[in-house]
Structures are given as C-alpha cells and as structure tokens.
Amino acid sequence: MVKDGVFTGGLDPLKVEAWVLGIEKLFEVFPCLQTQKVLLATFTLEDEVRRWWMLMHESNKDIGWAWFLEIFYDKYFPQCVHDKKVSEFMELKQNSMTVTEYEAKFTELARFPPHMVDTDYKKARHFEGGLQKDILEKVNVLKHIDVLDQAIIS
C-alpha cells in the first residue's frame, strides 16, 4: 500500500508502480547519486517492506537504483503478477464500460506490455480492437470522413 509517498507492502502492481514513479519524480527535483537514490527511497519504506529491506540491506550495501529496483520488483511485483496484467491488457474489451472508463483502464494496463503500444499506430489499433462494435463502426465512419475532408482540402 502507498500512502503519502510511503510504501508499506502488498502485491498490488499499480501501487508498487505508483510508489516507484513517485520516488523517481523526487529524483527529478533532487538529483543524487545512484546509491543516494536507494537511501532516499528506502527511507520511505514502512512496516513489512521496511523489515524486508533491513534484511536485504545486509547483503546489498552500496547498491545503485537499478539493482534496488530489480530486487524490489522481484519481491513486490513478481513476474507472474506482471504476466497477469499483460494478459488482462491483451483481453481488455469495453463491454459495459463507457468509452471514458475503457480508456482509463486501457491507459492503466498499457504500461505493462510497452512493446504492444510503443507507437501511436499500435496503441490506436489495440484500443479500437476492444471497443464495442457499434462504437467502432462510428469511429471508422468518422475516420473515413476525416480522410475525405483532408483529400478535399488538398
């Protein structure tokens, strides 16, 4: 769980990612060495995560941020959880969600398989693939009108 920039544990990948992004945001304002980044980040750990880090720290003194993230993610964002989020993204469909809700869920899950959305084209195709059929048909009509408008203007 993340509260006020403090990470207290759990296997919720979105909370783990939110904590890491929050810490890295601090690094933008407070430039520091790689080992200092670890000190700053681990200062915000509480409860079970603090106890885990105290045990890990004994054999990982003076490590850099990249190595810390690797062991941190191994513990709190294991590959099986990541794989589950990738599958959830791949299977995401709008169904009964509004387009706004679908877009929010799409954006939330898109960070897990970045290779699937690393271009605007891939992102758009995947997003369209999950839309309800009637909405997708309207989108396709609008794209056709836009192309026609562009051709007339040219």
pLDDT tens, 116-133? 999 988 998 899 889 888
Using an 8 Å Cβ cutoff, are 130 and 89 in contact? no
Q: pLDDT confidence of 143, banded at 50, 70, 90?
A: low
Do residues 92 and 53 share a domain?
A: no
Residues 44 and 102 in one domain: no
Nearest CA to 44 out of 16, 64, 71 is that of: 16
Question: How many domains would you assign to the chain?
Answer: 2
Tokens of 21: 């992004």
Whether residues 91 and 106 share a domain: the answer is yes
Amino acid at residue number 145: I
Do residues 84 and 144 share a domain? Answer: yes
Q: Which domain holds residue 63?
A: 2-77
Please give the model's pTM, rounded to 2 decimal places.
0.64
Q: What is the mean pLDDT of residues 27-54?
A: 93
- Burial degree of 109 (CB within 10 A; 0-12, 13-18, 19+): buried
Please say which residue of 45, 60, 77 terminates a domain: 77
